[in-house]
Chain A
Amino acid sequence: MKRPAKVEEVVGVACMVVLVLLTLGNVLTRYFTDASFAWTEEISIFLIVVMTLAGAASIAARDGHIRIEFLYDGGSARRRRMLRLVSAIATTLLFAVLAGLFGVTLADEIKWGETSMGLGVPRWWFTAPIPLFCAAIAWRAGVAGWHVWREPASPDPVVALDP
């Protein structure tokens, strides 16, 4: 299915690319020099978290997260529409709450000036994108739900792959 690239999608893919390059750089520098590249570990962890949430937002936009599909896609059109609405509301609600909680965590970290264990930079640098992307997931799921609400005959969602 052709779909326009979303900001979150591009951010997620960019994180993946940087993760590959950082780790590859680690292997190479370790073999060709004595220099340690280990300080990148904190950045890699940060990128894993951002990649997860950004990727999750782009999948939420097309309602592709894993669920019990045969219940979700079965039954009458009316029932399917109901389940899509419930699912969208639940997702939006959860990630709105999480965005709020992460937001407060972020505010506390800025207030107390905590620094990170590895690089010694302010902790909040790493936390800052988290509430943002949680809000993005809530937003994307909410918009998907809004489309279902507006037009009852929405197409079936794309089935996501998992391991």
Chain B
Amino acid sequence: MIGTLLFVVFIALMLAGAPIGVALGIGGIAAIAAANVDVPWWGLFAAPQNMHASIAKYPLLALPMFVLVGSIFDRSGVARRMVTFAEACVGRAPGTLPMVAILVAMVLGGISGSGPANAAAVGGVMIAAMAKAGYPAAFSASVVGAAAATDILIPPSIAFIVYSVNVPGASVPALFAAGMVPGILAGLALIVPAVLISRRHGFGESERSRARPPFWHSLGAASWGLAAPVLILGGMRVGWFTPTEAAVVAVAYGLFIGIAIHRSIGWRDLYPIFREATEVSAVIMLVLALAGIFAYAVNTLGIADPVVAAVKNLGLGSTGTLILLFVVMTVLGMVLDGVSIFLVFLPLLYPLMIAFAWDPVWFGVLLTMKIAIGQFTPPMAVNLMVACRLAQVRMEQTLPWIGWMIVSFVVATLLVLFIPELALWLPRRLGY
């Protein structure tokens, strides 16, 4: 009864367009009050306590820091130099520019932890370059939007940080290591359709006549940016710093490159950069805080148990249940952003994970791949939205192209689902 109230209030508010955090908070508070009518204050003090406890966590500091790293590297001028270097590596022919866009998005994914920041950085350079080479704007937007989705798989990743602070038994370093191979796999999975489509339609034919950038010179120019993922990932690996500290070192390094080396960031740009990072972080962490109230209500009212039992009784087995979860979350992912969906379902996902004895790190990688797909699946596709804005196309125009990218990314996800070692080998090898 109270469980129904919780979900009815939550869903009604969501449909009425209330912010997702507000819907979670009011749903949670209504359920807590209804369950404690004879207790003084209706037991409502659980609400502020859980809200506060959900964000008053030191490891969560990595989230705003990596958002800030994304905002800084977006403007640091490293993307342009990496693109030139990648062009020097792969040459110029039909399909090479989309390949460059995807490769650069993957390397930037090793610096920033958020998809939209990556889409802005890569799109800012690649969409104009691809337009000049004769690629349709909607195709370029599809490539950039999809490529940026590898960002939250390739460490560092904001999705992994949110997962780690909520799920016991999945440390940030282990998740970061586990995302590496699936992230590269997803990037390769995007390169295949991008190149095939370009060849088939003869996009970028005019590129052949242009000279290839000199290799050593472009490597030199790109080296400041290329050193960043080495510093961040290597520094964490050898134990120089924790993920949070790595992010702060990357902030300092990114500002240094942007201000002193590439001179693309002026002192006046600092306030907007910090403001953007503060607001992006605040939006995510407010949902995180209010989801704490919702999760408390679901857990203490025992709503999860019957649902988990019902799912188990479907008799789909471990893999079948995972695929069912995947389908349900993908459908919901069309209307809501991935991290929010994950926070809404966490109280149900966690007991399911225990019931089926899924490895928490592997499950985290699978969920993140699902979130990544949602980031470029219209209509609620944050990365694609950024890319479409830069390319000045409407999201509907990407439909002929984006479908192939989605299919290919789903195949990569299924590979990780059926071969857990793809995710789990590296963290085990590194001893996390």
Residues of A that sit less than 8 Å from B by CB: 9, 12-13, 15-17, 19-20, 23-24, 26-27, 41, 44-46, 48-49, 51-56, 58-59, 64-72, 83-84, 86-87, 90-91, 93-94, 97-98, 101-102, 104-105, 130, 159-163
Total A-B Cβ pairs within 8 A: 199
Nearest A residue (CB) for B334: A70
Taken together as a complex, chains A and B put the C-alpha atoms of A51 and B289 apart, in Å, by 12
B349 at the interface (CB under 8 A from A): no
Enumerate chain B residues within 8 angstroms of A67, measured Cβ to Cβ: 14, 17-20
Tell me the smallest distance from the CB of A80 to a CB of chain B, in Å.
9
B60 at the interface (CB under 8 A from A): yes
A58 to B276 CA separation, bound complex (whole angstroms): 12
B residues adjacent to A (C-beta < 8 A)? 13-23, 25-26, 29, 41, 44-45, 47-49, 51-52, 55-58, 60-61, 64-65, 67-68, 113-117, 152, 158-159, 241, 244-245, 248-249, 251-252, 271, 274-287, 289, 335-340, 379-380, 382, 385-386
Q: Give the contacting residue for A48; candidates B16, B60, B275; CB below 8 A.
A: B60
Cβ 8 A contact of B19, one of A49, A52, A65? A65
Interface contact A94-B159, CB-CB below 8 Å: no
The 7 closest A-B pairs by CB, nearest first: A55-B282, A65-B19, A72-B17, A83-B17, A52-B285, A23-B248, A56-B286
Are A55 and B279 in contact, with the CB atoms below 8 A?
Answer: yes
**Among B158, B283, B339, contact of A59 (Cβ-Cβ < 8 Å):** B283
Chain B residue numbers with a CB within 8 Å of A16 are 64, 68, 274, 277-278, 281
Q: Is B283's CB under 8 angstroms from A64's CB?
A: yes
8 residue pairs A–B, Cβ–Cβ below 8 Å: A9-B279, A23-B244, A23-B245, A49-B52, A67-B19, A71-B335, A91-B22, A98-B25
Q: Could you say which of A17, A48, A68 contacts B14, with CB atoms under 8 Å apart? A: A68
- Residue among A27, A54, A68, A105 with max Cβ neighbours from chain B (10 Å): A68
Docked-complex contact A94 and B48, CB < 8 angstroms: no
Chain B, interface SS category = helix
Dominant SS among interface residues on chain A: helix
* With contact pairs A59-B283, A163-B115, A163-B152 given, residues A87 and B65 touching in the complex (Cβ less than 8 Å): no
Which residues from B are CB-within-8-Å of A52? 55, 281-282, 285-286, 289
A23 CA to B18 CA, complexed, in Å: 35
Distance (whole angstroms) from the CB of B70 to the closest CB of chain A: 9
Nearest Cβ on chain B to A32's Cβ, whole angstroms? 13
Known: A13-B278, A102-B48. A66 touches B287 (CB 8 A): yes
Task: Indicate if the CB atoms of B55 and A162 lie closer than 8 Å.
Answer: no
Nearest residue (CB) in B for A92 is: B22
Q: Is the CB of B18 within 8 A of A70?
A: no
The listed residue with most A CB atoms (<10 A of its CB), out of B52, B282, B339, is: B282
Q: Do A51 and B281 have beta carbons less than 8 Å apart?
A: yes
Beta-carbon contact of A101 and B244 below 8 Å: no
B48→A101 contact, CB < 8 A: yes
Q: How far is the CB of A76 from chain B (nearest CB, A)?
A: 14
> With A and B bound together, what is the CA distance between A66 and B278 in angstroms?
15
